Amino acid sequence: MSLSRSLLITVLFISLSILLGACGQEEAANEEAISNGNSTSGTINLTFMAAQQSGAWYPLAVGITEMMKKNIDNLGNISIQPGGGVSNVIALNNGTGEIGFSQAGPAADGFLGNPPFQEKMENVKYLLSLFPHQTHIVVPKNSGIATIEDIKGKRINVGTQGLLSEDIASRILEIHGMTYGDMQSVQNLSFSDSVEQMKDGRLDVLFWTVPAPFAVLNDLSQSMEIDFLELPKDTIDELLSQNAGFFKTSLDAGTYNGVDYDVATIQSPIVVIASNETSEDLIYQTTKTIYEGIEELAQINPVIGTLDPKVDLPIDIGVPLHPGAEKFFREQGLLQ
């Protein structure tokens, strides 16, 4: 083989290798873009971070994603993953998913890097808010527990460790100069187990931050006489200063059987959040789908039917809006 022919073959081989490498890199980039919701022409696969199937978030995630399938032509495979208010913020910040649920409180803490987060979750952006989770502090009627200070030395349940109920319970106690160590006992029981223990006289106080009315608390109010402790104004003001995702509210008289008075408390709404890497177009279409589908979603959770989309969906929770959501709400004239 002549030198010139050998050189030509070598040049052709190198050129082909470079071409194949470039094509492979382009294909990999396209696949990554599609999986992250960043494709404008290909099929978009979506991971939606929600919660366990037994909870209230899962059927809502199913409802939202089914509406998205109808409205977004290039939406492909959808995976709804279990999680929670804190873990979903971490997952979306790390790019494990594209869209998901949290509550405003954990989302705000995550963005700022406040405990329990180890660093700032700055890759998480806000889309909109849905129904509120109100803080309930439940005691048996005629228990002698009339104020937050009266909780000292009692048997309390604060819900699953690391969730919003437990976080708010510990904040309230700290504001009033108490810790878990000042209690006779502190339990991290489920909804149903804590209610059963109060019925049996084994618990004195329940802390739950949940939608109102809440089914297991409805059941409790039908089974025994209960009272709710209100939060003093100074306590509410302090909680609101700690977290932009907390808001003043009240449990209205008649929400639960036998409770014929308003109860001052706080709430933190369930929110839809997303990775900042998720495409502006996908988030625009998702925001539009939820905004226009409130009545349909109310068939899954009736509390959603009480929302005014123009007032309750775009609120300031201390987390920046995703550009896609911001574009949609500006078009609706809902942002300054």
Of the listed ranges 6-20, 59-73, 251-265, the one predicted with least confidence: 6-20
Question: In a 3-state reduction of DSSP, which class is residue 269?
Answer: strand
Check if the beta carbon of residue 245 is closer than 8 Å to that of residue 104: yes
Query: Measuring CA to CA, which residue among 264, 311, 336, 333 is closest to residue 128?
Result: 311
Is 287 exposed, middle or buried, given 0-12, 13-18 or 19+ CB atoms closer than 10 A? buried
Segment 255-293, tens digit of pLDDT = 999 999 999 999 999 999 999 999 999 999 999 999 999
> Do 207 and 151 meet the contact criterion of CB atoms below 8 Å apart?
no
Q: What is the mean pLDDT of residues 207-216?
A: 91
Question: Which of the following CATH numbers is that of domain 133-268: 3.40.50.620, 3.40.190.10, 3.40.50.2300, 3.90.1150.10?
Answer: 3.40.190.10
CB crowding 145-174: b at 16 or more within 10 Å, else e: beebeebeebbbbbbeeebbbbbbbbbbbe
pLDDT of residue 161: 84
Of residues 170, 130, 97, the one with CA closest to residue 300: 130
Task: Please tell me the chain's helix, strand, coil percentages from 3-state DSSP, rounded to the nearest 5.
Answer: 45, 20, 35
d(CA 30, CA 78): 18
Q: Which CATH architecture has domain 44-130+270-331?
A: 3-Layer(aba) Sandwich (3.40)
The strand pairing partners of 271, in sequence order, are 102, 129
Instruction: Report pLDDT for 163.
Output: 85
Q: For position 137, what pLDDT does the model report?
A: 98
CA distance 141 to 206: 13
153-168 pLDDT per residue, tens: 999 999 988 789 999 9
Mean local confidence (pLDDT), 302-310: 91
Place of tokens 């366990």: 52
User: Across the chain, what does the average pLDDT equal?
Assistant: 89
Q: What's the CA gap between 222 and 220, in Å, rounded?
A: 5
Nearest to 228 by CA among 209, 247, 241: 209
pTM: 0.83
- Run of H or E including 187: strand 185-187
Say how far apart CA 283 and CA 323 lie, in whole Å: 8
All CATH 3.40.190.10 domain ranges in the chain, comma separated? 44-130+270-331, 133-268
CA distances from 247 to 135, 312, 315 (A): 11, 12, 11
- Tens digits of per-residue pLDDT, 105-117? 999 999 999 998 9
DSSP codes, 317-331: -SSPBPHHHHHHHHH
Q: 99: part of which helix (H) or strand (E)?
A: strand 99-103
pLDDT over 70 for what percent of the chain? 88
Contacts of 203 (CB under 8 A, 6+ apart): 155, 156, 157, 187, 194, 197
| Nearest by Cα to 159 from 10, 55, 280, 269 | 55
Separation CA 127–CA 107 (nearest Å): 11
